[in-house]
Each structure stands twice: as C-alpha cells, then as structure tokens.
Structure 1
Amino acid sequence: MAADTRVRRFTAAERWIHRTTAALMGVCVLTAACLYIPALAELVGRRALVVTVHEWTGLLLPLPVLAGLASRAFRADVGRLNRWGPHDRLWLRAARRRVPGRRPAAKFNAGQKIYAAWISGATLVMLATGLMMWFTHLTPLMWRTSATFVHDWLALTIGVVLAGHIGMALGDPEARRGLRTGLVSREWADREHPLWRP
C-alpha cells in the first residue's frame, strides 16, 4: 500500500496506552479466573501469589490512562469519545436494525464510545470494590460483603464485554493495524468513519 493512501489514526503514546491497559486487564482477568474456576486454581496453585498479582495489577490498571493524559492526542481522543452528535444516534439505530451499508461515524463510532465509557466506569467500580475487599479494616462487614458481590458479578460482565471487544477487533484487520502501526488505509477510514477528517 502506498504511503499516501494511509492516514494516521493513533500516535505512539495512544498505542502504548492501549497495549499497556490491555496487558494489565488481561492479567486481571486471568488471575481472577484462576481464583474462581476450581480447575484453573488447581492447575496454577499458589493462591496467595495469584491474589497478590491480581491486587497489584488491579491497582496499576488506571495508571496508563492517567499517564496518557500528558499526551495532547490522547486528551483529544478522550474528548472525542465523550462527545455525542446526531450521527451517533443514526449509527446506533442502523446497528440495532442491522441495516447494511454506511453508518455515519467520526473518528470513533457510537459503539466504541459506549464501550469506552462502560469499561472506564467498570474499571473504577472494580478498583473501589477491590480496595474495600483488600483493606478489610477500613470498612464495615456489610460494605465488604456488598463490594464482594459487585466485584464478582461485574468481573464476569467485564469478561463477557472484553470477549465481545476482542471479537470485534478480530473481525476488522484494518482497525487492528491502526492500533499496531498507527496507520490505516484511507479507503477504510472513508468507509468506516466517513465523518472523520484526519
């Protein structure tokens, strides 16, 4: 593909944030699975070590995003993810009705915006409930019991949503290329994100 048919979608800093967050989230999910699925717990063993890795990885999970706020491009993309327009409602309507053809989207489509907002909120809730479970002497038993319930069920929901996120990525090699190299084809950008002007 000629260089002039590619457009920059993500900077190196944005790609680093995504990769680091994905790695930390992957460790959280895998260690959680080892703590809750008996067959995995027996296979891995060393429960105390798995708990420690899970706790510290969960604590580190927000750091790539916080560090990323030093990047002007990342801050601009966070602003785009938080800004909704009439085209987003049209995109959602077309997606819900499974209408083939073009769906209007700027740099991020409505589905990506919903995912980003949901996973950000879920991560904060997991961090708060995890801290309540970790520092048991700081909260009453009722709070810790509630935190455990929320943490466990939200973890299961995050696993399902992450599987969907990965499945969508596997179905779009050009989007994966954008996260790997920072560049996407102009044809893909025009087709998938017609309102985006790079």
Structure 2
Amino acid sequence: MSLQADTPAPPAARVHRFSRAERWVHRTTAALMGLCVATAAVLYIPQLAIMVGRRELVVRVHECAGLALPVPVLLGLASRAFRADLRFLNRFGPHDRTWLWAAVSRDKRRSSRPAGKFNAGQKVYAAWIAGATLVMLGTGLMMWFTHLTPLMWRTSATFVHDWLALTIGVVLAGHIGMALGDPEARRGLRTGRVSQEWAKREHPLWRP
C-alpha cells in the first residue's frame, strides 16, 4: 500500500529546515502583510468600503500594521538560524543563474533547476518584497505626517504607494499560489521539518 503524496514522512526520514524563530518571523510577517493588504483593499475598493464602513478605524489598523511590518524581521535577527538564512538569501551563485534561465525558458526538468536551501526564485522574491516594504513604509510615513514634506513629495508618495500596493497584491497572490501547490514546503514552514526526498528533489545543493 503506497503512501499518499500529502502524507507526512516518518520522523526518521525528515530533516530540519526551519527553526522556531524562523517560523515565527514568517507567520507574523505574513499576518501583518495580510492585514495591510486587506485594509488597503477596503480603503480603495468602494464596494468593500461600503460593506465594512468605519473608514477611520480601517485607516488606523492599516497604519499600525504597516509600521509593525519590519518588527518581526528585526526581532528575528536575535536568532542565529535566521541570520544564517538571510545570508543564504542574499547570495547568488552560478546555480541561481541556471535556475532563473530554466524558469524563464520554461524548462521544468529538475536537473535544470539546481538550488541550495533557497532557490533563485525565492531569493528574488525575498529581495523584492523587502525593498517594496521599505518603499511602502517610507511613502506611507510621508502620507501620514503631511506637515513634514512638501506637497509635491506627498503627491508623488501617494502615487508610488498606491501602485506599489497593487503590485504587492499581485506578487503575494503568486507567492501564495506557489505555496498551495507544494504541501511539503508548507509543512516545512509549519513544523520546521521536511522529507529527505523533497529536500533532495527540490533543493539538491542543500546539505541539511
């Protein structure tokens, strides 16, 4: 009798991938980002605004969630495992270029997509979302504290903030879609462990 694809592997066949601190950072950041996106949708989509009401409260929740967004990452720096993963995410090697070329050319062969602990797509996503978060925080502060900057700056900040928010929503939808298609990756973020078979197949250059 064969095990189903979504059945967890036995404990002996599983390897450690993420520490408790790393999982906490991911969950908290995801919750805050989700809150920012949800409140932004209520503020900018008239149908949702009418349905929810209480615009002033929604604005305050959006602002507080946005200000708190960098906090989990800053607290996570106290974890050695988290700092090590940041170094992995910040380094691109020849195998990452190979992975990106295979992704662009739609080459789905596993041998064409070598990856360490994080593949090149995950590295690009992490860098992009980190930069986008900082831009959103900066433009949001300019929109919040209107007396600190000239009108032209505030107008430009509003334009950048609104369109980047839309882009973040699209990118997050893609990120969630990829996660939904990989139960073992989700299990790794939930429990901290993944199957050896998955690790060798998806991240062959990773040595846990």
TM-score of the superposition, structure 2-length normalised? 0.94
**Whole-angstrom CA distance in 2 between matches of 1:5 and 1:98:** 31
**Whole-angstrom CA distance in 1 between matches of 2:11 and 2:58:** 46
Alpha-carbon offset, residue 152 of structure 1: 0.1
Q: Does 2:187 match 1:182?
A: no
Q: Does 2:138 match 1:124?
A: no
Alpha-carbon offset, residue 179 of structure 1: 0.3
**Whole-angstrom CA distance in 2 between matches of 1:65 and 1:131:** 19
Q: Does 2:85 match 1:77?
A: yes
Number of matched pairs: 198
Identity across aligned pairs (percent)?
A: 80
**Whole-angstrom CA distance in 1 between matches of 2:12 and 2:204:** 18
Runs (4+) off by over 3 Å: none
What whole-Å deviation, never above 9, does each CA across 1:73-114 have from its counterpart, x for those lacking one?
Answer: 000000000001000011011111111221100000000000
**Whole-angstrom CA distance in 2 between matches of 1:14 and 1:25:** 16
Gaps of 5+ in 1: none
- Which residues in structure 2 correspond to 1:42-191 (within 5 Å)? 42-102=50-110, 103-191=113-201
Please report the RMSD computed on the Cα atoms of aligned residues, expressed in angstroms. Answer: 0.5
**Whole-angstrom CA distance in 1 between matches of 2:150 and 2:107:** 51
**Whole-angstrom CA distance in 1 between matches of 2:180 and 2:198:** 15
SS in 1 for 2:35: helix
**Whole-angstrom CA distance in 1 between matches of 2:128 and 2:108:** 26
Residue of structure 2 equivalent to 1:2: 10
Alpha-carbon offset, residue 52 of structure 1: 0.4
Gaps of 5+ in 2: 1-8
**Whole-angstrom CA distance in 1 between matches of 2:136 and 2:81:** 27
Q: Does 2:29 match 1:29?
A: no
**Whole-angstrom CA distance in 2 between matches of 1:90 and 1:72:** 29
Question: Which range moves more in the overlay, 78-87 or 98-107?
Answer: 98-107
Alpha-carbon offset, residue 14 of structure 1: 0.2
What whole-Å deviation, never above 9, does each CA across 1:150-193 have from its counterpart, x for those lacking one?
Answer: 00000000000000000000000000000000000000000000
**Whole-angstrom CA distance in 2 between matches of 1:96 and 1:46:** 45
**Whole-angstrom CA distance in 1 between matches of 2:90 and 2:147:** 37
**Whole-angstrom CA distance in 2 between matches of 1:105 and 1:85:** 10
What whole-Å deviation, never above 9, does each CA across 1:7-36 have from its counterpart, x for those lacking one?
Answer: 011000000000000000000000000000
**Whole-angstrom CA distance in 2 between matches of 1:57 and 1:113:** 24
**Whole-angstrom CA distance in 2 between matches of 1:183 and 1:70:** 21
